[in-house]
Amino acid sequence: MEIITAHNLEKYFGTLAAVDGISFSVKKGEIFGFLGPNGAGKTTAMKMIHCVSKRTGGDLRVFGLDTDIEPRMIKQRLGVVPQENNPDPDFTTFQNLTIYARYFGIPRSEAEKRAEELLEFMQLSEKRDAPIETLSGGMKRRLIIARALMNEPELLILDEPTIGLDPQARHLIWEKLRHLRSIGCTLVMTTHYLDEAERLCDRLVIMDSGKILVEGSPAELVRKYAGKEIVEAAANPEFVACLKEKRIEFEVFGDTIQVQADDPQIIAQIMMESCGRERITVRMATLEDVFLKLTGRTLRE
């Protein structure tokens, strides 16, 4: 079953195409990722999905409902973790959850029950009655995730869920997101942490300048665009000449040479024996290789 269907979805800000005709669909129960450098249009796409930004073209359906026509019905059934934390600073952690529940019309006793459960789930029970300003960045993020779960959403939208968090906090959040998937929740997330996408996403798209460049599972994309393994060595002119002579295809990234290889031993052997390189690294290809290959190495913003 398709939870989200987008067809030629488009968002213009004046003359700037933030989202430039993208088509994708998200299936029930999967974790679907949007990857892309800063300014690619990920946040804009998320905002259109959760009905706070109006599309300027194309078609977008969530739960089969048009986001332009049925925003209330859609928002009732989804949870949102925005890119920027926005807890309500006038209230405690617990009150943040119960007050948010009121916006959904959830009765008080039910809201309090869910709030206690979610504080437990997100390991925030100790901070139950703490004012918001005493929470660390990781705790605030977890609170925002707990808040997004108050209405027991069928679809959870997460815009860079682990941005700026330490490894412990990231791992905790990943574990919780996988748990949510296991109980049937559909998740859509954006990230520019490629390891995060590789670990979590069942399928993902890589976006740049408002367009989708590729779509697939992390393993498929790596296989298709980066090969099995990567052989790396330091670059210098003689070495480059030698590789050319041996007709090995390579790419130069700053001071490093990379060769995509399905048979890395052979390449490594040539580099050592014929080109006189001693320090060679052989590693598995990752999503990061795919990402850099497709979106280039120039800095964004």
Ligand X SMILES: Nc1ncnc2c1ncn2[C@@H]1O[C@H](COP(=O)(O)OP(=O)(O)O)[C@@H](O)[C@H]1O
- Taking residues 11 to 30 in sequence order and writing x for each that binds another protein by CB under 8 A, - otherwise, the string is --x-----------------
How many chain residues touch Mg ion (CB under 5 A)? 3
Output the CA–CA distances (angstroms, integers) from residue 257 to 67, 210, 212, 228, 286, in the order listed: 47, 30, 28, 16, 16
Length in residues, the chain: 301
Contact (CB, 8 A) for 60 and 48 = yes
DSSP string covering 163-227, please?
TT--HHHHHHHHHHHHHHHHTT-EEEEEES-HHHHHHH-SEEEEEETTEEEEEE-HHHHHHHHH-
Taking CB under 6 A as the criterion, which residues in 15-34 touch ligand X?
16, 18
Out of 4, 22, 26, 41, which residue is the one contacting ligand X (CB under 6 A)? 41
Contact (CB, 8 A) for 142 and 122 = yes
The stretch among 22-30, 41-49, 61-69, 74-82 that binds ligand X (CB under 6 A) is: 41-49
* 41 touches, from another protein, ligand X, Mg ion, none (C-beta below 5 to 8 Å by class): ligand X
Out of 2, 68, 90, 110, which residue is the one contacting another protein (CB under 8 A)? 90
The stretch among 11-19, 23-31, 92-100, 180-188 that binds ligand X (CB under 6 A) is: 11-19
Contact between 44 and ligand X per CB under 6 A: yes
CB of residue 168 to another protein, shortest distance in Å: 26
- Within 13-166, where are the H helices? 42-49, 71-76, 93-103, 108-121, 137-148
Taking CB under 8 A as the criterion, which residues in 28-67 touch another protein?
50, 52-54
Contact between 76 and another protein per CB under 8 A: yes
Taking CB under 5 A as the criterion, which residues in 109-128 touch Mg ion?
none
| Closer residue to Mg ion, CB minimum distance, 197 or 248 | 197
Q: Within 13 Å and on the Cβ side, how many CA atoms surround 234?
A: 5
Residue 292 is classified by DSSP as H
Contact (CB, 8 A) for 9 and 49 = no
Contact between 39 and ligand X per CB under 6 A: yes
CB of residue 7 to ligand X, shortest distance in Å: 19
Determine how many CB atoms are found less than 10 A away from the CB of residue 105.
9
Work out whether strand 186-191 and strand 155-159 pair parallel, antiparallel, or are unpaired: parallel
| Closer residue to another protein, CB minimum distance, 157 or 267 | 157
| Closer residue to another protein, CB minimum distance, 2 or 90 | 90
The stretch among 39-47, 134-142, 181-189, 272-280 that binds ligand X (CB under 6 A) is: 39-47
Determine how many CB atoms are found less than 10 A away from the CB of residue 266.
12
Output the CA–CA distances (angstroms, integers) from residue 13 to 57, 83, 241, 244, 279, in the order listed: 12, 19, 48, 46, 50
* 91 touches, from Mg ion, ligand X, another protein, none (C-beta below 5 to 8 Å by class): another protein
Strand partners, 30: none
Contact between 126 and another protein per CB under 8 A: no
Out of 43, 53, 96, 260, which residue is the one contacting Mg ion (CB under 5 A)? 43
* 61 touches, from ligand X, another protein, Mg ion, none (C-beta below 5 to 8 Å by class): none
Binding site for ligand X (CB under 6 A): 13, 16, 18, 36, 38-44
Binding site for Mg ion (CB under 5 A): 42-43, 83
